[in-house]
Amino acid sequence: MFYRECGNYKDNYASDMAIFPIPLDRWGFIFMLFLAFIVIPLFASEYFVTNIIIPFYCFALSAFG
């Protein structure tokens, strides 16, 4: 992405050392987690969950270490 941190002022050390210092990144990450763990499992078929989502979650978890 080509955006900068202009206009996002840090007023303390904790906000400077945040994992997601840019609010757009933070809200995007929260939205992706909501989509992955709430919306898709509620509306997906049984085939999609058992054969696609569960292995994907396992591989993603193993990739994180």
Q: How much is the pLDDT for 19?
A: 86
Would you say residue 30 has pLDDT above 90?
yes
Task: Kindly report, residue by residue over 31-60, the tens digit of the pLDDT.
Answer: 999 998 898 888 988 888 889 888 888 998
Q: What angle do CA 51, 31, 50 make, to 5 degrees?
A: 10
pTM equals: 0.63
